[in-house]
């Protein structure tokens, strides 16, 4: 490995670690513990008939919370740098903002996943609906792919949130469309037919298909792998375009820390 590449990896890992350590705030407790626990509890307690299959309620609630953490943690990384006054110095360092943003997005997503996973596993088990894992390796592969997709989404949102004063308000509005269209907790078959094609653009919708298949011991659909890859690639392209535009705009009109 060349010194430059090794140095980039060091910056990447350091950024991930710094972000993971920063996530000790009460906001993280809400996203990593309170929210997933509440969704598991509400779903399981609301069941009116034993015929309703809730074996994957924990999995769905966990993915809902991964999305919420992506919006509120990864999505606000660059905005947080602005609040702390550290965005400009990072941009002007040799490593560049992109490596730092990638590292921080990875740190935020992985740490959130660990806490959310532990919370939904414990609460589901306490309510006698433990998360089943019939095929651990495919489940782990699907989880890794979902987290990669969430990381890319976080980078996209982070770049977009930097150019608006209303980032928090927009973050609020972004939560529930994906909760509904992602089919994460409520199956897509319950939605009207005309709205289902929109769900195909949500990468987590394919991720949850893969995780459910692995959890229940059936073969993972190849189509879901394909579309998870395609949607994540599209998010990555959009993130790159948004990130570059944000930097060009900042250099052009000196607006990095302004709106």
Partner 1 sequence: MSSSDPAGALALAARLSWLEYRAAYPWRIYLISALPRALLQVLFFAYLGYFTGGHTGRTFAFVGASAHVMLIATVIKGPDVLLDERVLGTLYRLRLGVLSVPAVIAVRWWVYAAEAIVDAMAVIVVVGPFVVGLDVVERLLLALPLFGLVALTTSALGLAVAAVSMTQRADVLVTNLANYAALVVCGVVAPLSALGTVGMGIGRAVPLTHGLLAIRAAIDGRPWVGEALLEAAVGAAWAASAVIVLLVQEWRARAFGIGDRI
Residues lying near partner 1 in the complex (CB under 8 A) are found at 25-27, 29-30, 34-35, 37-38, 41-43, 45-49, 52, 54, 166, 169-170, 172-173, 175-177, 179-180, 185-187, 190-191
Q: Which C-beta is closer to partner 1: that of 157 or that of 256?
A: 157
* Rounded Cα gap, residues 101 and 157, in angstroms: 11
Neighbours of 90 (CB within 10 A): 17
* Rounded Cα gap, residues 211 and 206, in angstroms: 9
Note whether 23 and 116 are within 8 A (CB): no
Q: Which C-beta is closer to partner 1: that of 177 or that of 221?
A: 177
Rounded least distance, CB 33 to partner 1, Å: 10
Q: Which C-beta is closer to partner 1: that of 17 or that of 191?
A: 191
Rounded least distance, CB 191 to partner 1, Å: 7
* Rounded Cα gap, residues 177 and 180, in angstroms: 5
Rounded least distance, CB 169 to partner 1, Å: 4
Q: Which C-beta is closer to partner 1: that of 60 or that of 207?
A: 60
Rounded least distance, CB 186 to partner 1, Å: 5
Q: Which C-beta is closer to partner 1: that of 45 or that of 258?
A: 45
* Rounded Cα gap, residues 143 and 40, in angstroms: 19
Rounded least distance, CB 163 to partner 1, Å: 15
Give the tokens for residue 18: 């710094």
State CA 226 to chain mean position distance. 19
155: Cβ contacts below 8 Å, ≥ 6 apart: 74, 101, 102, 105, 239, 243
Rounded least distance, CB 124 to partner 1, Å: 15
If we measure between CA atoms, which residue out of 125, 102, 37, 23 comes closest to residue 69?
23
Q: Which C-beta is closer to partner 1: that of 135 or that of 212?
A: 212
State CA 113 to chain mean position distance. 9
């Amino acid at each position: 490995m060349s010194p430059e590449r090794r140095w980039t990896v060091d910056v990447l890992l350091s950024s991930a670690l710094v972000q993971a350590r920063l996530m000790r705030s009460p906001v993280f407790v809400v996203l990593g513990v309170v929210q997933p626990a509440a969704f598991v509890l509400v779903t399981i307690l609301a069941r009116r008939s034993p015929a309703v299959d809730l074996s994957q309620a924990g999995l769905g609630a966990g993915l809902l919370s991964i999305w919420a953490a992506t919006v509120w943690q990864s999505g606000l990384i660059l905005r947080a740098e602005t609040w702390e006054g550290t965005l400009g110095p990072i941009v002007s360092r040799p490593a560049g903002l992109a490596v730092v943003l990638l590292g921080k997005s990875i740190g935020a997503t992985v740490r959130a996943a660990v806490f959310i996973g532990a919370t939904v596993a414990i609460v589901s088990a306490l309510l006698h609906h433990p998360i089943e894992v019939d095929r651990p390796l495919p489940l782990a592969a699907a989880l890794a792919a979902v987290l990669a997709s969430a990381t890319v989404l976080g980078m996209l949102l982070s770049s977009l949130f930097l150019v608006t004063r209303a980032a928090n308000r927009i973050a609020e509005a972004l939560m529930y469309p994906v909760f509904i269209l992602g089919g994460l907790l409520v199956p897509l078959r319950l939605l009207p037919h005309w709205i289902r094609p929109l769900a195909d653009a949500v990468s987590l919708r394919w991720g949850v298909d893969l995780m459910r298949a692995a959890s229940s011991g059936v073969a993972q659909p190849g189509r879901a792998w394909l579309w998870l890859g395609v949607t994540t690639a599209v998010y990555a392209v959009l993130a790159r375009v948004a990130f570059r535009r944000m930097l060009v705009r900042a250099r052009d009109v000196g607006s990095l820390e302004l709106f």
